[in-house]
Structure formats: structure tokens, C-alpha cells
Amino acid sequence: MMFTLPELPYSYNALEPFIDEETMRVHHDGHHAAYVKNLNDVLAGHDEFLSMDIKYLLKSLDKVPEDIRTKVKNNAGGHFHHSFFWTILKQNGGGIPTGKLLEAINSKFGDFDKFKEKFNQSALSLFGSGWTWLVLDGQELEIANIPNQDSPISLGHTPIFAIDLWEHAYYLKYKNKRADYINALWNTVNWEEVERRFHNSS
């Protein structure tokens, strides 16, 4: 058994004008596909890891042979993060969450606007490549900047929402204007999926 590249749950141009078709093709067919290929290649001959659920693999990196552990961490993280990311975006997305997720956000951050402001500030402060995450740490919502493809799963956190801040996620359209990309991405958020992940984890 090998890891496989999931299809996008929408067309390449579905997130226009906020995320352009060319970026989606390069991001999914190029970068995400490379993580999957590299993960399968580095785990060749290690069937016990190839048959693992990707989240369990990320929780079990200490069991991976040391000479391939970093490559497994990077590529398993890249595969899981992108598979997660595609599902929390959608055409005609945006707005605000509802129900218990909104209640939890309001309780932790004051209100949704304050949460969004804090999340944006955190994303802008991330140096280099990585992701800004909304995670559950136990039963507590937290915003976390995690570099490269290091995973919140490996840290014992449950991911709820994220923004990919690697330049390949936005540079074709937004160049060095990371703030413009972050602001635009809120218009594509699939809050129903984010809420589902929150409910299943809390």
C-alpha cells in the first residue's frame, strides 16, 4: 500500500479570484504530488509505515529509522497538511463559523473579529516557510505558528484550521504581499468543514 494524491474537491479555478487557477495547479499537481512521491520513495522497503494512516505516522515518527526520519517528517507533514488544506477551502466560502465553534472562538478570543485579527498577526509574523494553525490543545483553542512541514499532529495538537504560508501557495498571484493573500483567503474558508473537525475533536 502506498500513499496517494487526493483529488481536489473542486475545480482548479473554483477559488478565483482569491486563489488563481495556475497557483492551484502548481500547488496541487506539483508541490503536493511531490510530497506524496517523496514519501513513498523514502519509505520503500518499510511496508509497516507505508500501511499506516498518515496521522498515525506523524504521531509515530520516533519509530521511524533515524536515517530517514527527517525526510519522512517533512514529506508526511507536507502530504497531510495539503490534504487537510484543500478540504477547508471552497468556492463561495467565507463568512463566519456558527454554533459551538463560534462560541469557543468568542470565549477564547473575545469575538470572531478579534480572533481573525490575532490569526492574521500571527501569520504575518511567521518567518520563512510554514503554516499558521488553529488547533485544539486538549480542549483549548490555540493559534500556533509551526515552521516548514512540522506538524501539529506530531506535537499532540488537533488541527482545526490553517493557512499555508509557503511562498508557493501565493507567490504567483500575490508576489511578496503575504498580507493580501491572507486577507483574500478568508473569502474561501469552508466553515462547515472547519466546524465538523472541531465537533469531531472536542
Q: Indicate the burial class of 67 (C-beta count within 10 angstroms; 0-12, 13-18, 19 or more).
A: exposed
Q: Is the pLDDT of residue 104 over 80?
A: yes
Residue 175 within a domain: yes
Confidence of residue 52 (pLDDT cuts 50, 70, 90): very high
Based on the fold, state whether residues 68 and 161 are members of the same structural domain: no
pTM of the model: 0.97
- The pLDDT tens digits for 117-128 are 999 999 999 999
The reported pLDDT for the residue numbered 70 is: 98
Q: What is the CA radius of gyration of the chain?
A: 17
The reported pLDDT for the residue numbered 23 is: 98
Based on the fold, state whether residues 46 and 107 are members of the same structural domain: no
Residue 125 within a domain: yes
H or E stretch covering 123: helix 112-125
- Which of 65, 87, 109 represents a domain boundary (last residue)? 87
What CATH number is associated with residue 178? 3.55.40.20
What CATH number is associated with residue 74? 1.10.287.990
Give the count of domains, the chain: 2
Based on the fold, state whether residues 81 and 103 are members of the same structural domain: no
Confidence of residue 62 (pLDDT cuts 50, 70, 90): very high
In the chain, % of residues over pLDDT 90:
99
Based on the fold, state whether residues 191 and 113 are members of the same structural domain: yes
Q: Is the pLDDT of residue 1 over 90?
A: no
Give the structural domain span for 36. Answer: 21-87
